[in-house]
Amino acid sequence: MKLKAHIGTIIHEAFNRLDISLSSEIQVVPASRVEFGDFQYNGVMKLAKSMGKNPKELALLLASQIDTSGAIAKVEVAGPGFVNIWLNDSWLDGAIGNLFENRFDNFANSLNPETIVVDYSGPNMAKEMHVGHLRSTIIGDSLANLFEFLGHKVIRQNHIGDWGTQFGMLIAYLEEQDSAAYAKLKDLEEFYKLAKTRFDSDTKFANKARDYVVKIQSKDKHCLGLWEKFISISLAHSQEVYDKLGVLLTPKDVRAESFYNDMLPEIISHLEQKNLLTVSDGAKCVFLPEEETPVIVQKRDGGYLYATTDLAALFYRYKTLKADRICYVVDARQSEHFKQVFKVAKLASFVGDETVLEHIAFGTMMDKNGKPFKTRDGGTIKLIELLDEAVSRAKDAIKSKENLKPDELEKLAQTIGIGAVKYADLSVNREANYIFDWDKMLSFEGNTSLYLQYAYARIQSIFSKTQIELNKDKLAIQNELEHRLSILLLSFKEVLLHAAKEATPHTITSYLYDLATLFMQFYESCPILKEGVSPKEQNTRLILAQITADTIAQGLKILGIGVVQRL
């Protein structure tokens, strides 16, 4: 059910009866205040203007033609031409009954499936994952989940950095240390530092490292072997983080930088053929109109750059993966880069004219004081350590910890702690910088994952106390909270569609928070299992509670967050 669209259709029909044709789609919005009804349509005023009519008269005319025998119970015209709309309870009975029966089964069928590539996480294999990778990983994964849930074909791509000069240094050091180094690889960060120190202090070693870079590129067997070994160990570190985070990336989603190496000369020659290439200061560049700086695709020394690789990746994703939409979940600081690369890709036809290219940008993660998130001594915080801290803090926050078995507590803390980290990130507008605050994210109050998990657990508790069989044909929505809750539940699908279109997970969290809040009100004022509640009321309220729980669980699942049966 697309609720707003359905109401829009009814209004459209009313316009048809008046022989008024519309140029744009009808936009119905939730009423700004309770006394203005459930929804409102504000388009009359603009329309009246273009028709040279009095808005209030037109609104009244429209209202007289709106069908009030179905979804809409009542229409009122207010102010200069607002059309306020109330929905019909018995119609809601049917719609909720239908939602209860089919739940979210048909959410995936309602639009043309697209092939969507989501490029996210993309850690550099030379180092361990740190907090800088968190947002891309979390946001990207939730978007991939969302697209999948809506029936699209999603191709996750983990564009790991496995190529570049650092790897010469790292494998030279690896070779030198031999077996001892393998042990040290457990701490990649430490290993990198040691190799770097060696590189800076020993020119002989530095030369060897540079030599090894060239050797990897020329596919020297020995060096390639060392390199592969190194990458596989580093990738295992990342996988450990993904597993702990509960993101769905697996080794098969890895499409590393190095994968595109062989395509790079073709990219250059293709650009040449299209007459897009200019040699400037010895470098091969694409100059774009209205852009001050060119996109450099080949350095003076013949080396390629990340723009070249990105073009190759775009080409591959279009040509081989058949992508309709390609989403890059990457730090906002790279917006200039993507803007340019996308332009070049379109100009050079590396992608189709219709291919949607999006940079899903996000801001920097800051600490409580608004400074970049670092350790006390200014170093980067390892992601794995941050996640462990989240679980440990969650453990402390759980009230019932004394009553739980250790493994139960561990599991609960995982769900809560990791969920809190993810939710905190996903619940803010991704474009702005984001303030990471342990206390806030692990609070039960406000817009947090814990609040939603608590609402869910409360509902589970109700169902653990009753065996009543639910009957969707005996729904009888009547009081205000049942009515409002029903409408909110029916809005879920359009919320997801909107979030998918705009790539804004925070619109989902806002919705879920509103839902949980409304449910809490409902819970306080609409008793279910208490004395004096009629079977009919019980049936209705239990069904609403059930759908609420399922909606919270499903919404959180899309965000990559779990629920718990008890708290």
Partner RNA sequence: GCGCUCGUAGCUCAGCUGGAUAGAGCACUCGCCUUCUAAGCGAGCGGUCUUAGGUUCGAAUCCUAACGGGCGUACCA
Considering only residues 254 to 293 of the shown chain, the ones binding RNA according to CB under 7 A are 257, 280-283, 285, 292-293
- Residue 536 binds RNA (CB under 7 A): no
Annotate each residue in 83-112 with x if it binds RNA (CB under 7 A) or - if it does not, as one string.
Answer: -x----------------------------
Nearer to RNA (CB atom), residue 288 or residue 384: 288
Closest CB 86 distance from RNA, rounded Å: 12
Q: Which stretch binds RNA (CB under 7 A): 105-113, 214-222, 225-233, 432-440?
A: 432-440
- Residue 440 binds RNA (CB under 7 A): yes
- Residue 399 binds RNA (CB under 7 A): yes
- As a whole number of angstroms, the distance between CA 359 and CA 185 comes to 34
Closest CB 521 distance from RNA, rounded Å: 5
Both tokens of 348, joined, read: 């050079």
Closest CB 367 distance from RNA, rounded Å: 11
Q: Which residue has the tokens 């494998």?
A: 171
Nearer to RNA (CB atom), residue 389 or residue 431: 431
Nearer to RNA (CB atom), residue 171 or residue 528: 528
- Pairing relation of β-strands 295-298 and 283-286? antiparallel
Torsion sign, CA atoms 166, 167, 170, 173: negative
Closest CB 241 distance from RNA, rounded Å: 18
Q: Who's near 462: CB < 8 A, 6+ residues apart?
A: 528, 529, 542, 545
- Pairing relation of β-strands 277-280 and 153-157? unpaired
CA-closest candidate to residue 157, choices 343, 328, 336: 328
- As a whole number of angstroms, the distance between CA 39 and CA 525 comes to 23
At 75, give phi and psi (nearest 5°): -130, 135
Q: Which residue has the tokens 């208490």?
A: 530
Nearer to RNA (CB atom), residue 24 or residue 179: 24
Nearer to RNA (CB atom), residue 248 or residue 305: 305
Closest CB 512 distance from RNA, rounded Å: 12
How many residues in the shown chain lie near RNA by CB under 7 A?
Answer: 95
Nearer to RNA (CB atom), residue 383 or residue 450: 450
- Residue 5 binds RNA (CB under 7 A): no
Amino acid making up residue 182: Y
Annotate each residue in 109-148 with x if it binds RNA (CB under 7 A) or - if it does not, as one string.
Answer: ---------------x------------------------
What b/e string do you get for 450-463 counting C-beta neighbours within 10 Å, with b at 16 or more? Answer: bbbbbbbebbbebb
Nearer to RNA (CB atom), residue 181 or residue 296: 296
Both tokens of 489, joined, read: 């539940």
Given candidates 510, 537, 546, 557, which one binds RNA under the rule CB under 7 A? 510
- Window 356 to 395, contacts with RNA (CB under 7 A): 364, 370
- As a whole number of angstroms, the distance between CA 165 and CA 519 comes to 56
Closest CB 494 distance from RNA, rounded Å: 9
- As a whole number of angstroms, the distance between CA 441 and CA 423 comes to 8
Q: Which stretch binds RNA (CB under 7 A): 147-155, 169-177, 481-489, 510-518?
A: 510-518
Given candidates 451, 485, 488, 505, which one binds RNA under the rule CB under 7 A? 451
- Residue 431 binds RNA (CB under 7 A): yes
- Pairing relation of β-strands 82-87 and 72-78? antiparallel
Residue 526, SS3? coil
Annotate each residue in 30-49 with x if it binds RNA (CB under 7 A) or - if it does not, as one string.
Answer: xxxx--x---x-x--xx--x
Q: Who's near 383: CB < 8 A, 6+ residues apart?
A: 128, 129, 130, 131, 133, 134, 241
